[in-house]
Chains A and B, each alone.
Chain A
Amino acid sequence: MIRNILLLVGAALLVVGFAVSFSQWGSGAQPWGQLLGDNFWFARTLPFSLGFAVILGYWRAANWTDGTARRSDGAIRRFARSTIVLHAVAGIALVALVATGGWQYLKGLLDAETPIYMGTVYRIHYIAATVLIIVSVTLATDWLLRGENALGLAGGQRMRAWRGLSHELPRPIGHLLGYLMGMNMQRPGPATEQFTFYERAVSFPTWNLAIGLIIITGVIKAMRYIYPIPGDVLYWTSAAHVGAGVLLALKVLDHLRYVLAPSRWPLMTAMWTGWIPEGYVRRFHPAWYARLETQPTTHTVVTPPPAAQPIRAGSAGGAAS
C-alpha cells in the first residue's frame, strides 16, 4: 500500500515539475528561444525525473517475485514483462539520442545547412534523454535494492569469466585471448549461466560505461546555463559526451550483431516475449538449466504457447559471438 502511495506521489511530483517548468517556458517572461528554453526545461525537470525514477525502481523491487516461471511446454521465463517494456523504451530512446546527437555532431563537422530545424532536433534529444535517464535510474535502483547481478560478475569470478569468454569467442580470437591471459585452452570452458560470458564480461560493462558517461556528461552540459561551469571543464565534458555518443552508436551496432545472429535468435525473441525454449537453455545455458532443475518451480503457466516459429540456427552455438 505504502509503496503504491509513494509511486503516486512521485508521479504527481513529476507531473507538477514538468507543468511548472512548461508554464515558465511558455509564459514569455524570459527572452529565450526554443533551443535555450528547451535546455532550461530539461535541466529544471531533472530532479523530478530522477526522483520519480528512484521511486519507480523502489516500487519495482518491492513488487518483485523471486523464482523462475515455466510454461506448460517447458519454456522458461527469461525476462519479466516490466523488463521487456523498460528495455524497449530504453532502446527507442537510445536510438533517438544517437540519431539526434549524430545529426548535431555531423552538422558541426560538415558545416552544412540542415533541412530540419535544429531546435526540433535538440528537443527530441532532450525528451529522449529524459526517458533514458528515468529508465536507467529505475533499473539501477531496482537492481541495487534486490542485489540482482545476473548480468554482472561476482567477486572472484573474473578469471572464470575470461576463460568462458575465450571459449565463446570465435576460435582465433578466443585462443589469442586465452594465450594473452596465460590460459590452458585444453581445459573446457565453464558452463554458461543465464547470460553468456560475452554479455557479462564485455557487453553489459560497456553499456554501463557508455550510458553512465553519456548521462553524467549530458547533465553537466545541460546545467551550464543554470550553474556556472568553467570553460575547460565544459570543453572536456563535451568531448567526453561526443566520445560516449560514438561508443553508444558502436554498442548498438554490436548488440544488434549479437542478438540478430541466427544461432541466438531465441535470445532475441525472448526479449520480446519473455520466454525462451527449454531445449535452447539446456543446450546453450547448461549452468542456468541445472540450477533451475534443482530449484522448485515457482509456478507453471498453463496458457498455450504462441504458435511455434521455425528457428534458424547457424553452425555456431548460442554462446558464440
Chain B
Amino acid sequence: MRVVWALIGILFGLLCIYAGYLFFTAGIGAKLLQKGIYLQAPPILGGLALMILALPLIWNCVRLLTVRTERY
C-alpha cells in the first residue's frame, strides 16, 4: 500500500509540475499579455505555486520508498 501511494504521489506531483508549467507559459503568452496584469497574475502565480509545492510531495514520496522502518 505504501508503494502504491508513493507512486500515486509522485505521478500526481509530476502532473502538477506539468500543469503548472502550462499555466505559467500561458500567463506570459501573447494572448494574456494583452489582457493586463489582473488576468495574467493568477496563471503565473498559480503555475509557479503548483510547481514549487509539487517538489516536497515528490521528495516525501521518494523518502516513503527509501527510508528505514520503525514500528510503533
Contact = CB atoms under 8 A, between A and B. Distances in A.
A102 interface: yes
A256 B1 CA distance: 15
Interface string B36-53: 000000110010011001
Contacts of A111: 31
Interface residues of A, number: 36
Contacts of A254: 53
Contact of B60 (A250, A257, A272): A257
Contact of B32 (A109, A252, A253, A269): A109
B49 A250 contact: yes
Contacts of A252: 12
B72 A256 contact: no
A109 B16 CA distance: 16
B72 A280 contact: yes
Interface residues of B, number: 35
Contact of B57 (A106, A253, A262): A253
Given A253-B54, A257-B56, A279-B72, A262 B16 contact: no
B13 to A, nearest CB: 7
Contacts of B29: 109
Contacts of B6: 260
Interface stretch (A18-26, A78-86, A184-192, A309-317): A309-317
Given A243-B42, A253-B57, A261 B72 contact: no
Interface string A236-253: 000100110010011011
Given A254-B53, A260-B9, A260-B61, A265 B2 contact: yes
Interface string A41-60: 00000000000000000000
A283 B72 CA distance: 9
Contact of A253 (B16, B26, B67, B68): B16
Contact of B23 (A106, A262, A266): A106
B19 A102 contact: yes
A311 B43 contact: no
A180 interface: no
**Chain A contact residues, majority secondary structure:** helix
Contact of A260 (B27, B32, B53, B60): B60
Q: Which of B6, B13, B46 has the most CB of A within 10 A?
A: B46
Interface string A252-276: 1110110011100110110010000
Given A110-B26, A265-B2, A260 B71 contact: no
A260 to B, nearest CB: 5
A253 B50 contact: yes
A159 interface: no
Given A106-B26, A311-B71, A311-B72, 13 more contacts: A102-B19, A109-B27, A242-B42, A243-B42, A249-B16, A250-B49, A260-B9, A260-B61, A262-B67, A265-B64, A278-B72, A279-B71, A313-B68
Interface of A: 102, 106, 109-111, 239, 242-243, 246, 249-250, 252-254, 256-257, 260-262, 265-266, 268-269, 272, 277-280, 283, 308-314
11 contacts: A110-B26, A249-B16, A261-B60, A262-B64, A265-B2, A269-B1, A279-B71, A309-B1, A309-B2, A313-B67, A314-B67
Question: Ordered nearest first, which 4 A-B pairs have the shortest CB separation?
Answer: A279-B72, A313-B70, A109-B26, A246-B46
